[in-house]
Structure 1
Amino acid sequence: MSRRSGILEFAVLGLLHDSPMHGYELRKRLNVLLGSFRAFSYGTLYPCLKGLVAQGYLVEDNPDTEYIPATALNGKRSKIVYRLTPEGKQRFEELLADSGPDAWEDEHFGVHFAFFGQTDRAVRMRVLEGRRNRLEERLERMRASLARTRERLDAYTLELQRHGLESVEREVRWLNELIETERANRNGRGPGAAPPGGDPLISDGLGSAGSAPPGPPDRPER
Structure 2
Amino acid sequence: MLELSILGFLAEGPLHGYELKERIKALTGHVRPVSDGALYPAISRLVAAGRLDQRTEEGTGAAPRRVLSLTDAGRADLLQRLRAPKPVEISDQVRFNTVLAFLRHLPDPREQAAVLRRRLDFLRTPTSFFYDDGSPVRAEDTGDLFRRGVLRVARATTAAEVAWLTEAVAELER
Same-fold status (TM-score > 0.5): yes
- Residue number in structure 1 paired with 2:157: 171
Alignment RMSD, CA only? 3.0
Instruction: Decide which of 109, 114, 117 is 1:121's aligned counterpart.
Output: 109
Instruction: Decide which of 12, 17, 21 is 1:18's aligned counterpart.
Output: 12
Kept in 2, the 8 Å contact 1:58–1:85? The answer is yes
- Residue number in structure 1 paired with 2:123: 135
SS in 1 for 2:137: helix
State how far apart, in whole Å, the 2-side matches of 1:172 and 1:86 are: 37
1:56-71 to 2 correspondence within 5 Å?
Answer: 56-62=50-56
1:183-198 to 2 correspondence within 5 Å?
Answer: 183-186=169-172, 188=174
SS in 1 for 2:65: coil
- What TM-score results when the alignment is normalised by the length of structure 2? 0.78
1:31-70 to 2 correspondence within 5 Å?
Answer: 31-35=25-29, 38-62=32-56
Long gaps (5+) in structure 2: none
Residue by residue over 1:45-75, the C-alpha shift from the partner in whole angstroms, topping out at 9 and shown as x without a partner, is 0000001001010111028x8xxxxxxxxx9
Q: Which has the higher strand share?
A: 2
Percent identity reads 27
2:137 equivalent to 1:146:
yes
Q: Cα–Cα, structure 1 residues 45 and 37, in superposed 2: closer, same or farther, change >3 Å?
A: farther
1:30 deviation in Å? 0.6
SS in 1 for 2:127: helix
Q: Cα–Cα, structure 1 residues 94 and 27, in superposed 2: closer, same or farther, change >3 Å?
A: same
Kept in 1, the 8 Å contact 2:110–2:173? The answer is no
SS in 1 for 2:84: coil
Q: Cα–Cα, structure 1 residues 111 and 13, in superposed 2: closer, same or farther, change >3 Å?
A: same
SS in 2 for 1:56: coil
1:135 deviation in Å? 3.3
Instruction: Decide which of 82, 85, 89 is 2:75's aligned counterpart.
Output: 89
- Residue number in structure 2 paired with 1:207: none
Q: 4+ residue stretches of structure 1 with deviation over 6 A?
A: none
2:99 equivalent to 1:112:
yes
1:105 deviation in Å? 2.1
2:68 equivalent to 1:102:
no
Q: How many residue pairs are counted as aligned between the two chains?
A: 166
Q: Cα–Cα, structure 1 residues 38 and 141, in superposed 2: closer, same or farther, change >3 Å?
A: closer
- What TM-score results when the alignment is normalised by the length of structure 1? 0.63
State how far apart, in whole Å, the 1-side matches of 2:173 and 2:96 are: 25
The AA in structure 1 aligned to 2:137 is L
Kept in 1, the 8 Å contact 2:129–2:151? The answer is no
